[in-house]
Amino acid sequence: MCLIPVLAIFFPRIVLIGIFVFSNWFSRAYETALWPVLGFLFMPFTTLAYMAAVLNNNHSVNGWWLVLIIIAVLADLGGQGSSASTKKD
């Protein structure tokens, strides 16, 4: 069980696919399939963090789980921003 968070740091989209195939966490955390699909495409760290927060905190996001989601958003946006800054023409 400790291997999933370590893999999620380096390969978040692969972990999302694995969670989708081998568990029912998506259906428990999200009401529709739209948000996980958009999260897979644009913000995989945030999708994983939100899923963990909702599943481990009785469908509410507060405290340390909120901090985790904020860090995940910053990691997702930072990854996209750094790739854009390296493409200077």
60 pLDDT band (50/70/90 cuts)?
A: confident
**What are the tens digits of pLDDT across the range 6-35?**
878 888 899 889 988 998 888 888 888 898
Q: Percentages helix, strand, coil for the chain, rounded to the nearest 5?
A: 75, 0, 25
SS3 assignment, position 33 = coil
CB 72 within 8 A of CB 64: no
Average pLDDT value for residue range 29-57: 89
pLDDT the model gives residue 57: 79
